[in-house]
Chains A and B, each alone.
Chain A
Amino acid sequence: EMQLVESGGGLVKSGGSLRLSCTASELRFKVYNVNWLRQAPGKGLEWVSSITGSGTYIYYADSVKGRFTISRDNARNSVYLQMNSLRADDTAVYYCAKGDLGDWFDPWGQGTLVTVSS
């Protein structure tokens, strides 16, 4: 079964930037849609962004539109989330997960913590 591993989280000041990576263990990765989701401390899950296998179609939640950019490099089996103009309410564990919009998400990575300090 495919495994996903996130990296790139850390502590950043408000207004700063961070780039998250999601790397897959499976060579067929390039045919899969990948999503970024997040979970603020003590809160529920929030979908952030989605990218199709070819990278042709990209979608964002309103809360991050204009600040976050999703991309992928299928040669590296990786999907990225460039996060700019970070705010305190972006503090969360960020997960990547495979799945089409309208379908279930499986598998999920273990998550990477992003902390934005004010």
Chain B
Amino acid sequence: RKEVEQDPGPFNVPEGATVAFNCTYSNSASQSFFWYRQDCRKEPKLLMSVYSSGNEDGRFTAQLNRASQYISLLIRDSKLSDSATYLCVVNDNYGQNFVFGPGTRLSVLP
């Protein structure tokens, strides 16, 4: 089993749609969690950290369920500019071991 798994995608949604991505991790001792986005042929960029109580940043909402070892990202009112690959990242070694999921590609269509 891979350490971090994500929805395989791709997701093709119309502008204005709400879309949710799921991520599961295998190490119950994992300490911190992040969502990154990566545009085609570009570097990953931090989208948001994921906190235990859940957190929201504009149209983006992240949730963490430690008991189920599950992380989610919800994007509301999708924009064309949201088209990218979304990477789930888990840190399980006190800042030294960031494990990346394979990513889920999103295409927002006009």
> Do these two chains really belong together in a complex?
no
B contact residues vs A (CB 8 Å cutoff): none
A contact residues vs B (CB 8 Å cutoff): none
